[in-house]
Every structure is written in structure tokens, then in C-alpha cells.
């Protein structure tokens, strides 16, 4: 039973040892992929992986095999990581989601204008919260692409593999996500 498909089927039939072997086979790879998404914090990443193990075990009957097991497990863990980081209020740095020249220029201009001002920290924190909120409000079909490409800095090919979509779909969704994010933040930056 060395093939994932066989182990998955055995685990679905109640073979806990088969599930343990699946987990052992993929946990290190998923851990390495998640470490950056979880802010580089190994403790948080381990906690997320433990929760992902439990969630994957509970949801195994729903695994259809559309993606490979490692990708499915990573997707579960990544969602948990996003929640954990959001709870810790440190999911996004100020400029990561705005990984375009225009977005970075807007942020630099805003910060430079207020660098000597004692209110600069308040403005920066407010902007960070606005960015975090704007990213959280992106549609579920767009947010993961933005996170993987602009925050985790994966390639288009790697993002497509992780999400089980084509590279063309990654490019189109990333463009839409960045445009929506820019629109949301532009309204904030032009508030009186």
C-alpha cells in the first residue's frame, strides 16, 4: 500500500494506520510550505498542522481526488493558518498585498508624508488594518491566488498546482484581485 490512492481508500474504510501513513508521508512537505504562510513561526505552524490533521481526518470521506492528497491537506492547513494569523492580527504586513509598483508608491508617499508626524504610527496601523480588511473581503475565488502569489511569493505555476487551476486562471484571478484591492484602498487614500 505505497500509493496514496490505496491509502486514501483504506483510510476511508476506517483504517487509521493508512491515514497515519498518509499523514507521515506528507506532513513535512506541508509544514515547509506553510511555514512562510504562518509568519515563519514554527510553533504556530505546528499548531496549524495539528488542527489540519484533525480536520483532514474528519473530512476524508469528502476527499474526491480532484487534487493530490498533499495539495488537499495543504489547502486545509492554509485556511487554518490564515485564521490563526488573522486572530493574531499579524496576517499581512503593510506592503505585501500591494505588490505592484503603483500600490507601493502610494504607500511610500503616504508614509513619507507623515514620517515626521507623531500620527504616522496611527496612520500606518490604520492602513495596515484597511489592507487586511480589504484582502479579507476579496471573493473566495480570488483571495487564495493573491495570498499565494503576492504574500507567499509562489510562482504562477506553483500557485496553479496548489489551487488545482490553470496558470491562465491564476493570472486572470490575480489581476482581478489586485484591481479590487487597489479600488478598495484608493477610496481610503482619497478620504478627506
pTM of the model: 0.44
Instruction: Check residue 191 and give its pLDDT.
Output: 53
User: b/e string for 146-159 if b means 16 or more Cβ within 10 A?
Assistant: bbbbbbbebebebb
Hunting for cell 505555476 — which residue is that? 157
Instruction: Check residue 123 and give its pLDDT.
Output: 56
What is the CB neighbour count within 10 angstroms for residue 98?
23
Successive 10-residue mean pLDDT values, the chain, 192 residues: 76 87 85 75 80 83 79 81 60 46 59 49 64 83 88 87 92 90 75 50
The CATH number corresponding to 4-87 among 1.10.1740.10, 3.40.30.10, 3.20.20.70, 2.10.50.10 equals 1.10.1740.10
Instruction: Check residue 94 and give its pLDDT.
Output: 42
Instruction: Check residue 117 and give its pLDDT.
Output: 45
The architecture (CATH level 2) of 101-189 comes to Orthogonal Bundle (1.10)
> What's the CA gap between 66 and 50, in Å, rounded?
23
Q: Is the Cβ–Cβ distance between 39 and 11 less than 8 Å?
A: no
**In the chain, domain spans:** 4-87, 101-189
| DSSP assignment letter at 60 | G
> What's the CA gap between 169 and 175, in Å, rounded?
10
- The answer to whether domain 4-87 and domain 101-189 are alike in fold is no
Hunting for cell 473566495 — which residue is that? 140
Instruction: Check residue 166 and give its pLDDT.
Output: 93
Instruction: Check residue 112 and give its pLDDT.
Output: 57
> What's the CA gap between 148 and 163, in Å, rounded?
9
> What's the CA gap between 62 and 98, in Å, rounded?
35
Amino acid at each position: 500500500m505505497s500509493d496514496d490512492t490505496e491509502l486514501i481508500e483504506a483510510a476511508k474504510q476506517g483504517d487509521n494506520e493508512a491515514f497515519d501513513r498518509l499523514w507521515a508521508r506528507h506532513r513535512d512537505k506541508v509544514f515547509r510550505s506553510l511555514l512562510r504562510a504562518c509568519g515563519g513561526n514554527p510553533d504556530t505552524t505546528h499548531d496549524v498542522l495539528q488542527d489540519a490533521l484533525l480536520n483532514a481526518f474528519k473530512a476524508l470521506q469528502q476527499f474526491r481526488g480532484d487534487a493530490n492528497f498533499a495539495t488537499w491537506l495543504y489547502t486545509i492547513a492554509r485556511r487554518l493558518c490564515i485564521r490563526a494569523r488573522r486572530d493574531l492580527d499579524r496576517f499581512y504586513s503593510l506592503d505585501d498585498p500591494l505588490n505592484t509598483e503603483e500600490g507601493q508608491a502610494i504607500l511610500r508617499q503616504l508614509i513619507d508624508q507623515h514620517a515626521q508626524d507623531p500620527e504616522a504610527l496611527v496612520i500606518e496601523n490604520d492602513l495596515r488594518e484597511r489592507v487586511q480588511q480589504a484582502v479579507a473581503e476579496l471573493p473566495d475565488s480570488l483571495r487564495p491566488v493573491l495570498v499565494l502569489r503576492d504574500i507567499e511569493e509562489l510562482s504562477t505555476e506553483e500557485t496553479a498546482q496548489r489551487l488545482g487551476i490553470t496558470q491562465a486562471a491564476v493570472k486572470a484571478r490575480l489581476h482581478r484581485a489586485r484591481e479590487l484591492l487597489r479600488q478598495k484602498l484608493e477610496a481610503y487614500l482619497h478620504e478627506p
